[in-house]
């Protein structure tokens, strides 16, 4: 796909996504893998077959890089660690359901992984779907659409089966990693998650983008990731990509590689601006304060209703509120109402 970079597609059983792109970078010691798929047998079998096609075996993997804390990206890392002793490298803010991973041979000071402050929410705003996640917009626990339910079950399964990887190294924005004989800079790119990172080879103009910039869809922007104004954080991270300068080839975690990063960034931002305008129009049609669920069900088609749709709606409504284009108040029972 780029100098020293092989793409190896792995199957993932997540509705709407049929594969994740695992990237393999070879050097004189073996190979580094980026985003080694889900923690299931199908993904593991595919991973081993893809390595075999490149004349590699699991024992040759010395490093695993994880772009962010979703199971289709970190799920295979623990098994690789067990099978090959590979180092596991994540961003210093990496967490799953707000919990830090197990630390193994961490080579930086532990305070870099200190817990983040918990977002305040009333008792009524704490919902049980998914377990342990705060629902800051309050109300009854959302009834997830089928695809949402499968998504959260997959995350819970990866956690309960001990698949959250034992982290050996953490990185920050601007750190430089030597991969396949080339220097890749770590680019912190929060928005989809707070711990998302990309890897940039300035000399070749290669950006390994994870879920941050995808070729045909935009990543889920969640109101549950603990970020203040996650949509603005995402916009700022997209602008940071443009500041990289020369990018000849963008390698996403889903879909095919593409070349015109700047145009794709503008298309993604335009999509979200259109969603913001749609919510403002919905608010005018309501003519009175309404719940996040009300806005969500007016914005999304019925098959998409559920916690992920409500979470993204909440993130967009909060962005409108912070821009002064919406107002909100919380009822005595904890339900948050918006007037856009």
Whole-number mean pLDDT of the chain? 86
Residue 112 falls inside a structural domain? yes
Residue 312 lies in a domain: no
What does the block give as tokens for 286? 């309501």
Domain that holds residue 154: 5-117+146-266
Domain containing residue 105: CATH number: 3.60.15.10
182 falls within a domain: yes
3-class DSSP state for residue 192? coil
Number of domains in the chain: 1
* Domain assignment of residue 163, yes or no: yes
Strands (E) in the chain, as ranges, are 5-14, 17-27, 30-34, 61-65, 87-91, 169-171, 176-179, 182-188, 197-201, 206-210, 249-252, 290-291, 327-330, 336-339
129 in any annotated domain: no
pLDDT band at 233 (very low <50, low <70, confident <90, very high): very high
Does any domain span residue 122?
Answer: no
Q: Over the stretch 196-213, which tens digit does the pLDDT of each residue have?
A: 999 999 999 999 999 999
Interval 102-113: pLDDT, tens = 555 444 332 333
Domain presence at residue 38: yes
Does any domain span residue 307? no
Using the predicted structure, report yes or no on whether residue 160 has a pLDDT greater than 60. no
Q: What is the pLDDT of residues 134-157, one digit of tens each?
A: 689 987 766 555 555 555 555 555
């Amino acid at each position: 796909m780029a100098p020293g970079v092989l793409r190896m597609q792995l199957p993932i059983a997540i509705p709407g996504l049929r594969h994740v792109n695992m990237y393999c970078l070879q050097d004189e010691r073996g190979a580094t893998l980026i985003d080694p798929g889900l923690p299931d047998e199908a993904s593991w079998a595919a991973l081993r077959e893809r390595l075999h096609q490149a004349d590699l075996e699991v024992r040759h993997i010395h490093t695993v890089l994880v772009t962010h804390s979703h199971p289709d990206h970190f799920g295979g890392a623990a098994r690789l660690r067990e099978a090959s002793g590979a180092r596991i490298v994540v961003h210093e803010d990496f967490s799953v359901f707000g919990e830090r991973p197990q630390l193994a041979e961490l080579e930086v000071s532990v305070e870099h992984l200190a817990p983040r402050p918990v977002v305040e929410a009333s008792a009524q705003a704490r919902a049980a779907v998914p377990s342990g996640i705060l629902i800051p917009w309050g109300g009854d626990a959302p009834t997830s659409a089928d695809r949402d339910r499968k998504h959260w079950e997959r995350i819970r399964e990866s956690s309960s089966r001990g698949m959250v990887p034992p982290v050996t190294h953490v990185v920050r924005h601007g750190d430089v990693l030597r991969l396949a004989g080339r220097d890749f800079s770590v680019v912190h790119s929060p928005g989809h998650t707070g711990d998302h990172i990309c890897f940039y080879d300035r000399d070749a103009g290669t950006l390994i983008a994870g879920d941050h910039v995808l070729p045909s869809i935009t990543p889920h922007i969640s109101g549950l990731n603990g970020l203040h104004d996650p949509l603005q954080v995402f916009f700022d991270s997209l602008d940071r990509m443009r500041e990289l300068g020369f990018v000849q080839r963008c390698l996403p975690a889903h879909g095919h590689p593409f070349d015109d990063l700047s145009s794709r960034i503008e298309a993604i931002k335009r999509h979200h601006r259109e969603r913001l305008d749609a919510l403002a129009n919905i608010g005018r049609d309501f003519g009175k304060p309404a719940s996040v669920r009300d806005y969500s069900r007016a914005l999304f088609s019925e098959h998409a209703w559920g916690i992920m749709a409500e979470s993204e709606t909440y993130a967009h409504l909060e962005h409108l509120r912070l821009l002064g284009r919406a107002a909100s108040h919380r009822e005595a029972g904890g339900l948050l109402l918006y007037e856009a």
